[in-house]
Amino acid sequence: MNEITIGTTLQVYDSIEELSTDIKDLMNKAIEARENAYAPYSKFNVGAALQLDNNEVIIGSNQENASYPSGLCAERTAIYYSGAKYPKAKILKMAISASSQNQVTDKPIPPCGSCRQAIAEYEIKQKQPIEIYFMGAKGKVVKSESLANLLPLLFDNSVL
């Protein structure tokens, strides 16, 4: 038996103010999308904004449903919309902001496991990493250079 250790390195910014102007603008679009989320059940609003290589920005927010599993997270709403609208464009960056309607969300909120798998598919498809920035409603912002950093031992199409 051998052990393996899997590590990852992320960058942490103290606040949105520490981000470069282009990332700050993208995060502000995620925040705007977050405010329009349809989250009557979880009361947890999430917004995502994607910067594409064709200069377009695609936004998404969580869309919930009385039949809970029928709802969809902000990240997948955005990434599937991007895939549908600009199938040939590469996704360069993704900004995510999350905010509870019940309490102050001051911790960075990463994408859920299902969204990580979905984002990974597009990273593999485009053969280029997607930079991911995530935050709560305020406070620190975490940057990952690639989705792969957030999903070790990724299940991909090479095994099919």
Residues within the interface to Zn ion (CB under 5 A)? 73, 112, 115
Q: Is 35 a catalytic residue?
A: no
Q: Considering the complex, state which of residue 19 and residue 109 has its C-beta at the smaller distance from Zn ion.
A: 109
Q: Considering the complex, state which of residue 25 and residue 100 has its C-beta at the smaller distance from Zn ion.
A: 100
Active-site option among 75, 121, 123, 145: 75
**Please, what is the minimum distance in Å from the beta carbon of residue 26 to Zn ion?**
18
CA distance 92 to 75: 14
**Please, what is the minimum distance in Å from the beta carbon of residue 33 to Zn ion?**
14
- Using an 8 Å Cβ cutoff, are 34 and 9 in contact? no
**Please, what is the minimum distance in Å from the beta carbon of residue 134 to Zn ion?**
11
CA distance 61 to 32: 9
Nearest in space to 96 (alpha carbons), one of 144, 43, 152: 144
User: What does DSSP assign to residue 72?
Assistant: B
> Which tokens is 140 given?
């620190």
Q: Considering the complex, state which of residue 22 and residue 152 has its C-beta at the smaller distance from Zn ion.
A: 152
CA distance 48 to 46: 7
Q: Which residues are catalytic?
A: 75
